[in-house]
Amino acid sequence: MSPGNGTAAAERVLMKTSPLWSRERRGPAAFGVALVLFTVAVLWPAFEVAGRLDDTATALRLVSEQRRQADVVAGALASVRDRLESFGYVDEPLAEIRASVRELDGLVRALTANPATADAFASSPVRAIRRSQALRADVEELSTAWGAFRHAVVPIAAFSGVPYADSESAGVRLNDGGRLLALETRKAIAAVRKQGPPLIALLGRVATALEAESTRLSGYLRLLMLTALGGALALGVGLAYVAFARRRATQLLAAAERQTGDILKTVREGLFLLDARGRIGTVHSASMQRLFKRDLVAGLQFEELLQPLVPEKTLHTALRFVEVLWSERTKENLVKSINPLQEVEVSFETENGQESRWLEFDFHRVRHDGKLVNLLVAVQDVTQRVRLAGEIALLRERAQSQVDTLLGVLSVNPRQLRSFLSDSDAGLKMVNARLREPARDDAAFRQKVDAIFRQIHSIKGEAAALGLSSVQGRTHDFEGQLKELREAPALSGGDFLPLTLKLDDLFTHLASIGELVARLAQLQPAAVAATDSRAMPAGAAPAASVSSPPGPGQEDDLTGTLRQLLERIASARGKSARLVATGLGDIPDVYRRAVKDIAVQALRNSLVHGLEEPAARAGSGKPGVGTVKIDFRDEGDSGFRLVVEDDGAGLNLSRIREAAVERGILTADAAARIDSKQLLPLLFRAGFSTEQVADGDSGRGVGMNLVAELVRQLRGRVSLSSGEGRYTRLSIVLPAAAAPAALAG
């Protein structure tokens, strides 16, 4: 037989056996239905009739036992009368009366009790009485008759003591109690003669009715038993047929299970069912052991399967997602689009350490008769796909970074770029030197962090001003690691090792910018001769061209850099601002780099913290466009003065107090009492910021600390003043004498 014919034959067999299997499976179901019907139609009524017969028999026995009690009471009363007349002992007949009263009381209570209080699994006379209206009427009449009978007898039964008195003169005679007992006995005898016969007749009538009901129920029960016997024979025949059909169905089921097992052993995906309690079913694909690296999977909670492999947040989200899938009101296709486990990273402990892989979970609802009963979960190992996508994304990111760098370089004035590369190279070398400096205690380590923070922040500020986003991004990440070190409870030399990698990346990136500039210079040979290679960092090529010194009306490089920074930050924050700069072209070389860093930091603070948005300015009666003034002037023997002033909202003293309390610098009481002049110096502390979230322009608490440190190194003075709602002014005085050569640009 050819393979094609074999496949076709197998399909025909499956088509034939599937309906047969369905028919065989219907046999046990039909037998089960028949058994239930038999139980309901025959056995349950038989059980009910047997219970009623038991109740009736109990009631009949009770009534029969007490029928003679009225005669016993009558005889006992006569005995009491006779013994009183002959001065005999009356205790024995009185005891008989009391016993008979108790028995008849018990009989009446048993026949008139509330059926609801009767034990469902024990015989109850009252249930037998309540089922017959005639019996209920007889029992009510019996209760009334017994009440009259009992009323006459109770005084006799209640007597206690001795009814006689004995004296030497009179001899034995009835005492007062005896005379009263004799009187009550005569009354009771008369009443019993009148009430006894009706009471006895009622008891007989009730007993006769109960006997008739018992006979009727016995016949009905025999009929039911005969019916049950016939049904049992029929069910026996059916059971034999079902056993035969079951055997055939079992054979087919075994074949189907083998086929299912072959599929589950072969398929590479992990397949399993999840019930409403979040428990994994007993049947799953063999790939589950390979995917999750565990032998036992069946019966586990889905949470137990994921908990050692994924972060707590991912686990919580996944469990919430599964919970939503079980909601009938949720549309499956809609909720599957937000599956948090479409690509989830899992980690395994191996002999070689941690192994990470990526798994994809797909969920499908399983319904039976329209009701959601399970979730079918399919798991695939998508590690190769994720890694390939990551590599592609990395290549795209690198390509985009190169394009961004190229565009950034092309948009920068060559002289400004040359100055930036030179200053950045010097700054990174100072960072490298700082990293190499030995430190022995925590305070020295923290001083090292602050010093490196200031250098990196300075480079970041100028990169942002020039629009070199690639450099700004790398320095911002560098600051992130520095911030973690600053917030660490204790520091050691090993904590600084990751910074060397960041520093090497910055050196490499700046060198690549230098190489890019060199390639651009080859496209402009005429500009190469004008390039001052001495201003480039080591290993970098000369800039593409050199702009002539600013002539009359031409903007100097620092002013242009600051204007670019202002435009970028104002645009990003939805503000309108203009820059008014004077004297920046006359800064001595010895102060050039320091003044540039100070101006950049002060301008960023003005734009981020000082100037309001146009709507807020209009509400305060101000022009929509804010103004930042930067003025540098030579004051002769007094030195040089740099003033940066904006017409914004001024310093937010309340927020400064709150930040001081949040950072543990001041207590709440001290912050409330401190004078504003004493509050402003806090702005120059390392790590102090009023912003709660850091971004590319603020929030690290480094800018003003950098300003204060530069002024200190230059042996100058710095002051800060503010007018609420009107201005903020930073004023710096630098000495006329030359600053140390290390600070020169």
What is the rounded average pLDDT of the residues 20-31? 58
Answer yes or no: is pLDDT of 509 > 90: no
Is residue 23 located within the same domain as residue 79? yes
What is the rounded average pLDDT of the residues 625-654? 92
Q: What share of the chain is helix, strand, coil (3-state, %, to 5)?
A: 65, 10, 25
Beta strand pairing call for 727-734 and 270-274 = unpaired
Which DSSP category does 90 fall into? -
Is residue 565 located within the same domain as residue 688? yes
* Minimum mean pLDDT range among 11-25, 161-175, 188-202, 613-627: 11-25
Is residue 542 located within the same domain as residue 580? no
Q: Give 327-378 as a DSSP string.
A: -TTS-HHHHHTT-TTSSEEEEEEETTEEEEEEEEEEEEEEEETTEEEEEEEE
Give the integer Cα–Cα distance in Å for 121 and 739: 109
- Judge whether 459 lies within some domain: yes
Answer yes or no: is pLDDT of 532 > 60: no
- Judge whether 454 lies within some domain: yes
Is residue 144 located within the same domain as residue 102? yes
Q: How confident is the model at residue 277 (pLDDT cuts 50, 70, 90)?
A: confident
Give the H or E element holding residue 15. Answer: helix 3-38
Q: Which two tokens stand for residue 205?
A: 């009538």
Is residue 95 located within the same domain as residue 195? yes
Q: Give 555-576 as a DSSP string.
A: PPHHHHHHHHHHHHHHHHTT--
Q: What is the pLDDT of residue 26?
A: 62
- Judge whether 391 lies within some domain: no
Is residue 187 located within the same domain as residue 62? yes
Beta strand pairing call for 280-284 and 270-274 = antiparallel
Q: How confident is the model at residue 657 (pLDDT cuts 50, 70, 90)?
A: confident
Q: Which two tokens stand for residue 136?
A: 């209920």
Q: What is the pLDDT of residue 167?
A: 80
Q: Which of 132, 100, 110 is nearest to 209 (CA)?
A: 132
Residue 734: helix, strand or coil by DSSP?
A: strand
Pick from 361, 381, 401: which residue ends a domain? 381
Identify which has the larger pLDDT, 533 or 559: 559
Beta carbons within 8 Å of 214's beta carbon, 6+ residues apart:
53, 56, 57, 60
Q: Which two tokens stand for residue 140?
A: 């009510």
Which DSSP category does 343 fall into? S
Instruction: Encode pLDDT of 34-71 as tens digits.
Output: 777 777 777 788 777 887 788 888 888 888 888 888 88
Instruction: Encode pLDDT of 281-317 as tens digits.
Output: 888 888 888 888 887 888 888 888 888 888 888 888 8
Instruction: Encode pLDDT of 436-453 as tens digits.
Output: 878 778 888 887 787 887
Instruction: Encode pLDDT of 708-737 as tens digits.
Output: 888 998 999 999 999 888 999 999 999 986
Residues facing residue 377 across a β-bridge = 272, 363
Q: How confident is the model at residue 643 (pLDDT cuts 50, 70, 90)?
A: very high
Identify which has the larger pLDDT, 737 or 686: 686
Calculate the dihedral angle through the C-alpha atoms of 282, 288, 292, 296, rounding to the nearest 10 degrees. 30
Q: Which two tokens stand for residue 562?
A: 């600051």
Is residue 529 located within the same domain as residue 661? no
Give the integer Cα–Cα distance in Å for 153 and 188: 6
Q: Provide, rounded to the nearest whole percent, the portion of the chain with pLDDT above 70.
A: 86
CA atoms lying within 13 Å on the CB side of residue 237: 5
Domain span holding position 426: 414-546
Q: What is the pLDDT of residue 403?
A: 61
Q: Which of 151, 176, 153 is nearest to 163 (CA)?
A: 176
Number of CB atoms found within 10 A of residue 727's CB = 19
Is residue 7 located within the same domain as residue 36? yes
Per the structure, how many domains does the chain have? Answer: 4
Beta carbons within 8 Å of 439's beta carbon, 6+ residues apart:
445, 447, 448, 493
| CB-based contact 180:40 (threshold 8 Å) | no
Q: How confident is the model at residue 698 (pLDDT cuts 50, 70, 90)?
A: low
- Judge whether 254 lies within some domain: no
- Judge whether 402 lies within some domain: no
Number of CB atoms found within 10 A of residue 713's CB = 13
Is residue 235 located within the same domain as residue 290? no
Pick from 483, 512, 546: which residue ends a domain? 546
CATH of the domain at 721: 3.30.565.10
Burial of 407 (0-12, 13-18, 19+ CB in 10 A): middle
Identify which has the larger pLDDT, 571 or 42: 571
Answer yes or no: is pLDDT of 551 > 50: no
Q: What is the pTM of this model?
A: 0.42
- Judge whether 388 lies within some domain: no
Pick from 495, 517, 546: which residue ends a domain? 546
Residues facing residue 721 across a β-bridge = 729
Q: Which of 471, 437, 692, 493 is nearest to 485 (CA)?
A: 493
Q: What is the pLDDT of residue 399?
A: 59
Is residue 85 located within the same domain as residue 198? yes
Q: Give 278-313 as a DSSP string.
A: SBEEEEE-THHHHHHT-S--TT-BHHHHHTTTS-HH
Q: How confident is the model at residue 164 (pLDDT cuts 50, 70, 90)?
A: confident
- Judge whether 94 lies within some domain: yes
- Judge whether 343 lies within some domain: yes
Answer yes or no: is pLDDT of 577 > 70: yes
Q: Which two tokens stand for residue 443?
A: 């305070």
Q: What is the pLDDT of residue 157?
A: 86
Answer yes or no: is pLDDT of 587 > 60: yes
Give the integer Cα–Cα distance in Å for 676 and 673: 9
Answer yes or no: is pLDDT of 7 > 60: no
Size of the chain in residues: 745
Is residue 701 located within the same domain as residue 611? yes
Is residue 34 located within the same domain as residue 172? yes
Beta strand pairing call for 626-634 and 577-582 = parallel
